[in-house]
Amino acid sequence: MKATIHTVFFLLFGISCLGQIMPLTTEPDGGNKKASVSEQIGILKIEITYSRPGVRGREGKIYNTPVAHYGFVDLGHGTSTAAPWRAGANENTTISFSHPVSIEGKDLSAGKYGFFISLGENESTLIFSKVSNSWGSFYYDPTDDALRVQVKNKSLDKSVEWLKYEFIDQTDSSATIAMSWEKRMIPFKVEADTKTLQIASFRSEFKTTRPYYDYIQAANYCIRNNIELEQALAWMDRAIYFRIMGEKNFRTLSTKAAVLMKMNRLDEAKKVMEEALPMGTMLDVHFYGRQLLGMKEADEAMKVYQMNYKKYPKQFTTNVGMGRAYSAKGDYKKALTYMKAALPQAPDDGNKTNVETMIKKLEENQDVN
């Protein structure tokens, strides 16, 4: 009786433990490699997860065969009697977009999609399905389609052994995703309104407490791209004056001035910088002078460098600044005096080489800016 009780206990305990045991870690079915590839376009993140079948000596016997069939067929399994190719192997090939995109000019919402391809000899139809957790395309249902797009196939000179997805032909707002296997590539272009997405993201994140330097980052994005300048100005006023978190310092004021300059409100920008300059460090003021030189504002740059030199006389940075200022004004002889004074003060070999190069240019009557 006692032995029987022990046996029953063991069986019950064993069954209970089996329910908690994790499955063995094994390689993917059929020797297919698992892979994922991702890329960002602006703040848009795209990720593709798939399994990679190999050609394995089947050149010329991949497409329009049971390996990668054309059109929609009954695969003899699952619920679908008209299934497209699974665009990979094993589980669903999936593709996710963190934000809305345009696929070959057609809009697609953010989300994770099952990805299938209805193959053809010269053209193929890409299918983005709302269902992304199936096995292959055995359970494909066209009523779950989020988008279909037709694209042209491309022939490859060299065979690709393992199916792959990659991002090619990238720009600031687009990329082409290419599926390549054997001697065929199926590319499709993904585009996003990256600037609108970024501004929307800033606006969303600024609905809570943020440090002043986050507003500087957002404003500089607007300046670089020449967009939403009124919004950038409002953000900088918040960075400077917002209760508790606002801070009036050189960085916040100079960024506000930069926005005003971009808006061609130069008098207002100069007034803001008059308040900012006394708050700046020697390097802050120096690089503001460089900014003015880049804008061809030689007279204003001279005033800034002279102020910096008066506050920090005969130092490497201020000597170089004065040299740049006189060079911009065309007084190369005076510029040489300051550059030669800066040379023995160079803090490292890189700065020394840079000053030597500028001295050589000045001796040849060339502007160093």
Distance CA 88, CA 163 (A): 7
Q: For residue 4, what pLDDT is reported?
A: 53
pLDDT mean over 343-355: 96
pLDDT in tens, 46-91: 999 999 999 999 999 999 999 999 999 999 999 999 999 999 999 9
Helix, strand and coil content of the chain, in percent to the nearest 5, comes to 45, 25, 30
What pairs with residue 335 in β-bridges? none
Distance CA 164, CA 145 (A): 23
Distance CA 87, CA 93 (A): 6
Contact (Cβ atoms closer than 8 angstroms) between residue 124 and residue 115: no
Quickly state the pLDDT bin for 327 (edges 50, 70, 90): very high
For residue 366, count CB atoms less than 10 angstroms from its CB and return exposed for 0-12, middle for 13-18, buried for 19 or more: exposed
Distance CA 191, CA 234 (A): 30
Quickly state the pLDDT bin for 33 (edges 50, 70, 90): confident
Percent above pLDDT 70 for the chain: 92
Quickly state the pLDDT bin for 21 (edges 50, 70, 90): confident
Distance CA 326, CA 131 (A): 67
Percent above pLDDT 90 for the chain: 88
CA max distance for the chain: 111
Q: In Å, what is the CA distance from 277 to each residue of 30, 216, 263, 292, 325?
A: 68, 17, 21, 13, 17
Contact (Cβ atoms closer than 8 angstroms) between residue 115 and residue 151: no
Asked if the model's pLDDT at residue 9 lies above 60, the reply is no
pLDDT in tens, 97-133: 999 999 999 999 999 999 999 999 999 999 999 999 9
pLDDT in tens, 135-184: 999 999 999 999 999 999 999 999 999 999 999 999 999 999 999 999 99
Q: Among 135-144, 250-259, 288-297, 332-341, which is the least confidently predicted range?
A: 288-297
Phi, psi at 244, each rounded to 5°? 70, -60
Residue whose entry in the numeric block shows the structure tokens 């926005």: 259
Specify the DSSP class assigned to residue 82. S
Distance CA 51, CA 165 (A): 10
Contact (Cβ atoms closer than 8 angstroms) between residue 323 and residue 358: yes
For residue 126, count CB atoms less than 10 angstroms from its CB and return exposed for 0-12, middle for 13-18, buried for 19 or more: buried
Handedness of CA 50, 177, 111, 139 (dihedral sign): negative
Q: For residue 16, what pLDDT is reported?
A: 52
Asked if the model's pLDDT at residue 11 lies above 90, the reply is no
Q: Among 17-31, 322-336, 352-366, which is the least confidently predicted range?
A: 17-31
Q: For residue 235, what pLDDT is reported?
A: 98
pLDDT mean over 308-313: 96
Q: For residue 32, what pLDDT is reported?
A: 80
Asked if the model's pLDDT at residue 6 lies above 60, the reply is no
What pairs with residue 188 in β-bridges? 177
pLDDT in tens, 205-219: 999 999 999 999 999
pLDDT mean over 278-288: 94
Residue whose entry in the numeric block shows the structure tokens 């020697």: 282
H-helix or E-strand spanning residue 214: helix 212-225
pLDDT in tens, 240-254: 999 888 999 999 999
Distance CA 292, CA 361 (A): 21
Asked if the model's pLDDT at residue 344 lies above 80, the reply is yes
Q: For residue 291, what pLDDT is reported?
A: 87
Contact (Cβ atoms closer than 8 angstroms) between residue 325 and residue 313: no
Phi, psi at 35, each rounded to 5°? -155, 160
Q: What is the DSSP string of 117-168?
A: EEB-SSEEEEEEES--SSBTTTT--GGGEEEEEEEE-EEEEEEEEEEEEEEE
Q: In Å, what is the CA distance from 87 to each residue of 3, 112, 127, 136, 232?
A: 57, 16, 10, 8, 45
